Structure 1
Amino acid sequence: MYKQIDNGLEHKFMRLGEDIKVTDGFDIEGYASVFGRTDQGGDMVQAGAYKRSLADMMAKGRSVKMLWQHDPAQPIGIWDEVREDARGLYVKGRLLKDVEKGREAAALIEAGAIDGLSIGYRTVRAQKLRDQKDGKAARLLSELELWEVSLVTFPMLPGARLVTEEKGGDPFDAETMMRELADALTGARKQLARI
């Protein structure tokens, strides 16, 4: 579900779940947003939605912030890499060992108590889609101004997760990636057919 915030920022919550990857307790990576999937608020992010925002940040020497539960007073780490790929918005970073909340976040992730990522953004361009079967209006988000990616308790989109390493297997094997891509394309086709 998205939430409008007084300062104009919206938030999207994503599940970390089995895709969380924490190395040495503090290095994390995963997907903060997955393209072509409708979240619980009825929104779908279109591929390329973050492109301009990420380019502008890079040109200005700024970075996407890593926060705890969207609290701007609680930065807990650094996102070293934030980029779009075919699947969605990929993030890779590190929780800060010298920040109390960073140490707590690492422990909570490792214990399975925290399983969500959420983006803080402003909508630049969106298109309202026809009402869904459940009566909720849907938006196709085509351009977003990304501000931050937070670790959160309650996610909105099940597909946005940190990456986990399975023993004896690659979490991004070709079959899994093709299945997820096919699901995303099917979801996008359904949304576009409603326009």
Structure 2
Amino acid sequence: MTPGLEVKFAGGTPTLTDGHVIEGYASLFGMTDQGGDAVRAGAFSAGLRRLADKGDRVRMLWQHDPARPIGVWDEVREDEKGLWVKGRLLPDVAQAREAAALIQAGAIDGLSIGYRTIRAERDQKGRRALVEVELWEVSLVTFPMLPEAKVGRKDSDDLREVAMLFSAAAEALRKE
């Protein structure tokens, strides 16, 4: 398994009979993505409230493809670090079974958000700060715009730990 990857299986066994439970951070506040955007704390809250008031939910897609839903997000919430999601890959969906196998093998672990910008501001360096967004979907992806957005990502300390492990491994290889 990938360091920092947490995959939980409903029923305690690695099958999709009850759904493959996944969780992690789909967005981390204040971190600039590869497109130059950073999400501010609170950016999702109004949109999530509006969805809940309508009885609607954020969709779980495969690679941002609206024709390929693969599961359901049972919990989507902001905390002090970012947008945390927890959901189930659906066992009756072939792409979900493939996604579960890829996650379990460590071949894929990215999460990415699909949204509409409601309000944004530019900072002193010209980067865009997303102040309010309407969240449509969170996808499992191969390459997330925010590389730190991962299935099983508990907090940014995990990233430091992984970086230290890679550095130690690289140093050990250089000595051989």
Contact 1:47–1:86 at 8 Å: present in 2 too?
yes
Contact 1:129–1:140 at 8 Å: present in 2 too?
yes
* 1:156 corresponding residue in structure 2: 145
Q: Which of residues 35, 52, 57 is equivalent to 1:58?
A: 52
Larger Cα Rg: Structure 1 or Structure 2? 2
Deviation at 1:145, TM superposition (A): 0.3
Any gaps of 5 or more consecutive residues in structure 1? 1-16, 132-136, 165-170, 180-195
* 1:93 corresponding residue in structure 2: 87
CA separation in 2, counterparts of 1:18 and 1:84? 24
CA separation in 2, counterparts of 1:86 and 1:158? 19
* 1:139 corresponding residue in structure 2: 128
Contact 1:45–1:142 at 8 Å: present in 2 too?
yes
Deviation at 1:176, TM superposition (A): 3.6
Letter in 1 for 2:134: E
Any gaps of 5 or more consecutive residues in structure 2? 15-19, 161-176
* 2:74 corresponding residue in structure 1: 80
* 1:20 corresponding residue in structure 2: 5
Secondary structure of 1:54 counterpart: helix
CA separation in 1, counterparts of 2:5 and 2:48? 23
Q: Does 1:70 align with 2:68?
A: no
* 1:108 corresponding residue in structure 2: 102
- Normalising by structure 1, we get a TM-score of 0.71
Deviation at 1:115, TM superposition (A): 2.1
* 2:172 corresponding residue in structure 1: none
CA separation in 2, counterparts of 1:147 and 1:127? 21
Deviation at 1:163, TM superposition (A): 1.3
Note the alpha carbon deviations across 1:63-110, whole angstroms, 9 max, x for none. 000000011111000100000000100000010011000000000111
- Normalising by structure 2, we get a TM-score of 0.79
CA RMSD of aligned residues (A): 2.1
Contact 1:20–1:28 at 8 Å: present in 2 too?
no
CA separation in 2, counterparts of 1:19 and 1:38? 21
Letter in 2 for 1:110: Q
CA separation in 2, counterparts of 1:18 and 1:69? 22
Secondary structure of 1:97 counterpart: coil
Letter in 2 for 1:46: R
Contact 1:21–1:163 at 8 Å: present in 2 too?
yes
Secondary structure of 1:92 counterpart: strand
